[in-house]
Structure 1
Amino acid sequence: MTYYTIKGIIGRGFPILAVTSIIGIIAGQVLNVQLENLVSMPIILILIPALIKVGGDTGSMLGARLSSSFHMGLGSQLHRNPVVRNSVLAGLIVGLTACTFLSIVVWITGIALGIGMPFSKLLPLCLISGTFELIVVFTATIAIAFASHRFGIDPDDTVIPLIATLGDLIGVCGIFVTMYLLGIV
């Protein structure tokens, strides 16, 4: 039981928290660079926090499932692993459903506040940026979980903090890239 000491927990957690802090600062700077665009479209300000949480939260759910499978001895191989396949599929369904629901809620909120955006632009924005975020975050989740397990690090200590923060960065970048592709900017 020496693994769960205060010194051990802090020793394993501090480097991860340092990395997530740096990633969080980078995500904030991406938002800062796009400040003028954000101020001119306040509906996007409503959308960003919820949309970036979709990727981080579903990625964290996937990471928790993978970590549990490793602890039960079920996570031996990445390929042909039903835990990975089913967890990724379920995460994609939940994530894309959440993106669709989010676009509806933000559209209704925008109408109520008088800052609306056409639903024909809001839905593709949510689905495209959400899909991009989910693919990148799920790939990173699987890679971090398997690497942590392989190198003897508890995936519970690494996956969720890294993926939640990485989801923020990828989500913010995905929103702005999608806005550019759709000609919203």
Structure 2
Amino acid sequence: MRTMLPVLLALTTVELASGLVLDTFQSTLLRYPSLLVLVPVTIGMAGNLGSILAARLSTAFHLGLLDFAPDDDLLLGNAVATVALSLTLFPLVGAGAWLIQTFLAGTALGFLTVVAVAAVSGAVLALLAIVVTLVATYAAYRLELDPDDVVIPVVTNTCDVLGVLVLFGVVRLLV
């Protein structure tokens, strides 16, 4: 309780800020409904990628296999796997969002644009999820906290916020 309550209160504040950012892009979302379809999926996938990596690093930590060295094969292998998952899944997410929007109400954005927005967002989010997960896991280690208790909530909430910011940053660049 002593460990998690402050963490969860801080993360709630971060999530509220994410909602405020999302609200500022309401007109863009209403103009391009296929982007509206991407929002929850992008946020969820970013959190999922971070959670998978966090769980793997937490297990390695408990087994004594994690040493936080830049040349650690375990860290590098898991980071590469996270990026590979992202590069595989996010273009499919973009294609799915475009298809759903096309079948439901027509679409205002082209297929390649939606797929590009999803793919670039996913690649950036994978890199950010890796950094957030490594920092959170290392901080838990240094603060002598159980990473199972702290890292996944921190990573999922932070990736939710980053998902919104990155998605709309990419939209501003590509749309």
* Alignment partners' CA distance in 1, 2:40 and 2:154: 17
Residue 155 of structure 1 pairs with residue 169 of structure 2: no
Aligned length: 174
Unaligned runs of 5+ in 1: 1-9
Contact conserved, 2:91 with 2:116, CA < 8 A, in 1?
Answer: no
Q: What are the residue-to-residue correspondences of 1:8-157 with 2, within 5 Å? A: 10-116=1-107, 117-157=109-149
The alignment's C-alpha RMSD in Å is 1.1
**Cα deviation, residue 97, structure 1:** 1.2
Question: Does the residue aligned with 2:126 lie in a helix, a strand or coil?
Answer: helix
User: What is the match of residue 160 of structure 2?
Assistant: 168
Which of 1 and 2 has greater Rg? 1
* Alignment partners' CA distance in 1, 2:113 and 2:77: 31
Letter in 2 for 1:54: M
* Alignment partners' CA distance in 1, 2:75 and 2:141: 14
**Cα deviation, residue 168, structure 1:** 1.0
CA deviations over 1:96-129 (Å, ceiling 9, x no partner):
2110110111111121012322111011101111
Question: Does the residue aligned with 1:11 lie in a helix, a strand or coil?
Answer: coil
**Cα deviation, residue 90, structure 1:** 1.0
**Percent identity between the two aligned chains:** 27
Q: Give the 4+ runs in structure 1 shifted more than 2 A.
A: none
Q: TM-score, normalised by structure 1?
A: 0.90
Letter in 2 for 1:14: L
Letter in 2 for 1:83: L
User: What is the match of residue 5 of structure 1?
Assistant: none
Question: Does the residue aligned with 2:162 lie in a helix, a strand or coil?
Answer: helix
Contact conserved, 2:129 with 2:159, CA < 8 A, in 1?
Answer: yes
**Cα deviation, residue 78, structure 1:** 2.6
* Alignment partners' CA distance in 2, 1:77 and 1:105: 37
